[in-house]
Each structure stands twice: as structure tokens, then as C-alpha cells.
Chains A and B, each alone.
Chain A
Amino acid sequence: MTVLAASGRVWQRNWLVYRRLWGRSLAFGFLQPVLFLTAMGIGIGTLMTQQSLEAFGGVEYIDWLGPGLLAAMAMQTATFESTYPIMNKIMWGRNYEAMLSTPLGIRSILLGELGWSAFRIGSLAVVFLVVLWLFGIPRSPLALLAIPAAVLIGLAFSACLIAFTATQHNDVGFSAVFRFVINPLFLFSGTFFPLAQLPDGLQVVAWATPLFHGVQLVRGAILDQLDPGTAVLHAGYLVAMIVIGAVLAERNLTRRMAG
């Protein structure tokens, strides 16, 4: 069995569990953006004057917000999927211990989990995109590129968080990650307002963080404003994060599981 085929088995195990839940999961995936876009896009967006919309590049606030929320959803889903469920498989439910008694290795497990994360985020991104279409936001079929972009965001966060989770011995660290990493990224990555509104120093910090690049990619695809040069730069950032995260995750899982 190749590493890839073996990782497919790990993916398949997750699918077997998810099979019973997918309807519910996708329904929530539909409802969530509908609520957000209604409340913030319409509720807040319609209060904005023509002048304040200049800051959003001349598009309606809801059009600007929607893609940002899609990118943030990818980050949040990946974060959740790569903390508690992975911790469970490492130490509470000991799934990895059981898998490692078979010909499956650490690398297959990691690739299987990343593949699963990609599938989950990809399918949620499709649902999200449908919602955006219902709100009339995407400008062209190019918007479909938002799906692989969301998957890149998801993989970047999944890889890094699996690496983190593999070092943890209880779930205390997770709430710190949610509070001090994920929430600030959610708020300050150009999701809800343009970074130009921030003081210069903070803008530089925001530029260096991953979700900002994800938001730029997704928004560019959906509003058809993608400039190939900068798109490659944003995607490159996320790919680098995936590679570094995956290398660390493999190292940490090996240390954790094979002492």
C-alpha cells in the first residue's frame, strides 16, 4: 500500500463517521452565511453612505464582506477540525494508536487528515458560494476559484494546528489559540473593514498574518479583481504555511506517538 493509498483509508474512516452527519453539517454551512450576510451585509451595510463605501473600493458593503466571511469560515472550520478531533484521536479515543498497529504510518495519517480537512472546507466553500450567488455577489465564473483558495486557507491552518495539537496534553491550550490567535485574525485580516483603516504599524502586522492573504485571494476571485502577480504571492504564502505546518506536524506526531 502506498502512502497515498494508506492516507485514503484514514480519509475513508472520517467519511464513514461523517456520512451520518453531512446533511446537518451542510445545512449549518448554509444557514451561517445567510444569517451573517443578512445581519451585517444588509443590516449594517445599508447604513453606509456612498462616501464611506469608497473605502471598500466602490462596491456595496455586503459584496465586500461576503468573500471575507468565506475566507474566515475556512480558517475557523480548519481550526476546529484540527484541535479537538485530533486531540481525541491522539489521546482520548486513541484512534491513532490503533491505526499505528496496522501498516498505516504517521505520514499516511497526517495526509489523510489534511485530505479530510480539504474535503470538509471545500464542500462548505461550495455551499457558501451558493449563498453568495443567491445574494448576487459574485461577478463572474472566476468566483469558482474561491473554492481552491478556501481549501488553501483551510490546509494552512489545519497543518499548523495539527502540529500544535500534537504537542498538547490537555485542551487548555486550545482556548488560548481561539482567543489570542484565531479571533484577532478573524477581526483584523480585512474581513470586516479594510486594513487601511488601521494605524500604519498595525497594517504591517496584519499584512504578515495568514488570513489576510486568504481573504485577498477569495475576495479577488469573487469580485473578479484578481491580479495574477499578487495572487501568486498570496497563494505562495499559504502554500509555504502548509509545507512548514505539515513538516512540523509530522515531526510532532512522530515524537508523540512513537516514544
Chain B
Amino acid sequence: MSPHPSLVHARGLTKRYPNGFTAVDGVDFDVRPGKAFGFLGPNGAGKTSTMRMIACSSPVTEGELSVIGMDPRTQAREIKARLGVVPQIDNLDTELTVRENLEMYARYFDIPGDVARRRTDELLEFVQLDERARDQVEPLSGGMKRRLTIARALINEPDLVILDEPTTGLDPQARHLLWERLYQLKRRGATLIITTHYMDEAEQLCDHLVVMDKAHIVAEGSPRQLIDEHSTREVLELRFPDGVRENLDGRLDGLADRIEELPDRLLLYTADGEHTLDQVKQRDIPIESALVRRSSLEDVFLRLTGRSLVE
């Protein structure tokens, strides 16, 4: 077959570990050039195992996988030369300075010294670390380390950048700065693959998403499509005073398309949240608090799996 128009093409992709655990069970997906492709799912859904197979750092057990038109089984080295990888846990070289981290990494790709120095300058500026170029890595904040890791992943001008949970563990300000940089990267035409268990991250960054749960893909589409398909436009969140919730006796029946019960509140899925709230009040149901919001990917996930993303 001629090379696929997609950068990553997977059919029936499966990862089974020697202990018998199946982390990824026959998934199909295609990553198109110039797009940000997201794997959304809770911890243990199989996102990282999928990423590791794409990055050629974990062998494919079964199924078909091509990365940049090449086979990870036989062309791992050629594929890696054209990938940028941002791992879940930082693996910067703490014995080298910020600058040396990039220049040395460039040498691993066989990039000549002068080119490496020029790209290092550009990338440190891009991730706003040029002022820290001569510093050691260890005193950098978590957000700075992540940005340096991203700069490092770009040193070989990759065709595809793989980011495994890029903002896990960062404070909100650092996350936003990182998102902004990744958004810039996208605007330059880079293809990104991102795993995350944060729905806001997926909504912010991803053009196309697959939702993973228990080694399977349970839904696929753009964030908007997923919400439209699997949820209502709005959600009414209700909290009740003690004793009320146990004695509702079906008094909420017919008010919403679907009601999801969470330990601390009820979610009423409906096209018009305010209208539903009025109806609840008309029925004289005592409420402690009410919140009307747009449906999010969190709701999609809850719908598809019956569980929350972040538990």
C-alpha cells in the first residue's frame, strides 16, 4: 500500500505485557498532519502504553502500526530521528546546564555543533528560558523543566511531537503558559499527540480526540462533536440539604434527558439549564445550591464510562 496520508496509522493495535496484562486492546486511530490529536482517559486507560508504542520505546504486541509511514518494528531508529518526545516524568540531564541539555541532546541526533547551537538559542527563546541558559536544571521550577523538556523535544525539528500528560503536576499559571507555547507550536504547523486526563487541557489543545477507557477507545471526534453526540448542551448541578436527596421519590422525573448521580450532587442533562432549574423550584424541591454550565468532556466521559476522569 502507498504511504498513508496520516502520520500515525493504527489498526487493531494491542499491547500485552509479559505478566499477561493487556494495556491496549485492539485500537484503531489515524493522526492527520498538522493537527493536535489527543488521548483522553483516566490513569491506567492505556494512553501511555499507546504513546510508548508510537515512540518505538515499547514493542507492539499485535496489530498494525505505522509512524510517519514507517514500521516501528523494523525502522525504530529512523522513526525516532523524526519524533520529539515529552515524557510524563521529566528526564532532563540534571548533571548538565539548561543549555548543555539541548546541545547534548542535539548530538544524540547527530546534529552538527553549529546547527545545534543555533537551534538551542532559538528554542530557549521560544520556551522563555534564554535567561536561564547557563543555570543547572535542578533549581528550575516544575513549569520551567517542562518547557525545557519541550524545547529538547523540538531540537531535531520533528515531524511529530508526542506529549505524555504535559501539564500533570503543574500549578495553573504554569499550565496556561505551557498551553500557550503548545498553541504557538500548533500554529507553526506541528503535529502533536497529547495524552491527558484533564478535560480542559483536551478542550484547549486538541483538534481531534479519542476517549480511552480500560484499554479500549470508547469514542472519537473533535471536542465539540463528542460533547454534541454524547451529552446535552447544558448541565444543571444540584446539591441538596441533608435528608432531601434520599426522599426525592421520583420528583425530578421528566425534568432532564438524563440524571447522573455523583456522591455529593446530581447532574441533570438538559438543553436549557435555567429552564430546568425553574421547573425544579416549581416542584418545591429544597435545594442547597444550583449551578448551570455548558456540557464538557468530563460529562462525555461520565456518560461513556459511568466514572469521572479524575478520581
Contacts and interface: CB of A to CB of B under 8 A. Distances in A.
Interface string A23-54: 00000000000000000000000000000000
B58 A258 contact: yes
B105 interface: yes
A169 to B, nearest CB: 15
A98 B78 CA distance: 16
Nearest to A17: B95
Interface stretch (A65-73, A99-107, A178-186, A187-195): A99-107
Given A102-B80, A258-B59, A259-B58, A95 B91 contact: yes
A171 interface: no
A38 B108 CA distance: 46
Interface stretch (B6-14, B82-90, B175-183, B200-208): B82-90
Interface in B29-86: 55, 57-59, 77-78, 80-81, 83, 85
Contact of B91 (A5, A17, A98): A98
Interface in A65-123: 93-95, 97-105
Nearest to B76: A105
A205 interface: no
Overall SS of chain A's interface: helix
Given A98-B93, A103-B110, A16 B104 contact: yes
Contacts of A101: 55, 57, 80, 83, 85, 87
A55 to B, nearest CB: 47
Nearest to B108: A102
B17 A259 contact: yes
A144 to B, nearest CB: 33
B93 A9 contact: no
B105 A94 contact: no
| Interface size grouping (class) on chain B | 20 to 34
Given A100-B57, A104-B108, A259-B58, A16 B91 contact: no
Contacts of A170: none
Central interface residue in B57, B89, B108, B152, by most chain A CB within 10 Å: B108
| Interface size grouping (class) on chain A | 20 to 34
A17 B96 contact: yes
B93 A93 contact: yes
A9 B96 CA distance: 14
B105 A102 contact: yes
B94 interface: yes
A94 B107 contact: no
Nearest to A105: B77
Given A101-B80, A101-B83, A105-B77, A13 B104 contact: yes
Contacts of B87: 94, 97-98, 101
A104 B77 CA distance: 8
B105 A98 contact: yes
Central interface residue in A17, A101, A258, by most chain B CB within 10 Å: A101
Interface string B137-168: 00000000000000010001000000000000
Given A98-B91, A101-B55, A103-B110, 16 more contacts: A1-B110, A5-B110, A6-B110, A9-B107, A12-B107, A13-B93, A16-B100, A17-B95, A17-B96, A98-B92, A99-B108, A101-B83, A101-B85, A102-B108, A103-B109, A104-B108
Interface of A: 1, 5-6, 9, 12-13, 16-17, 93-95, 97-105, 257-259
Interface of B: 17-18, 55, 57-59, 77-78, 80-81, 83, 85, 87, 89-96, 100, 104-105, 107-110, 152, 156
